[in-house]
Amino acid sequence: MIGPTGTVKVMVATKPVDFRKGAEGLAALVREQIGADPFGGTVFVFRAKRTDRVKLIFWDGTGICLFAKRLEDGEFRWPKVQDGVMRLTAAQLSALLEGLDWRRVHQMRRTRVPAEAG
């Protein structure tokens, strides 16, 4: 899969959107409802009313990209439906797209380096 690096910003629209919208319509939602720049390199994630569908849009430097996925079995784990946006890490986005529970993915914890062996 072509996926984001660890430094990419990911924003999830928590309220379902009309999935008939294409890249341009979703970019307009980003500008008007989220108040963000759809051409800034952030990955924007949208959900449908049906929990087995997801769409992403992002600017790759040459054009706006639209990624759509429908799970054949199961459903995506979504946050509660509400107005607003939430942020995910690239690892959480990868888990979401695999149909896993992204809430179980945490940032790597710093491990204290031992001063000596044993």
pLDDT of residue 63: 94
With beta carbons less than 8 A apart as the criterion, state whether 81 and 13 touch. no
Spatial distance between the Cα atoms of 51 and 73, rounded to a whole number of angstroms: 11
pLDDT of residue 107: 59
pLDDT in tens, 30-77: 999 889 999 999 999 999 998 899 999 999 999 999 999 998 988 887
With beta carbons less than 8 A apart as the criterion, state whether 50 and 66 touch. no
Q: For residue 70, give both structure tokens.
A: 């429908």
**Mean local confidence (pLDDT), 4-12:** 77
Spatial distance between the Cα atoms of 45 and 66, rounded to a whole number of angstroms: 10
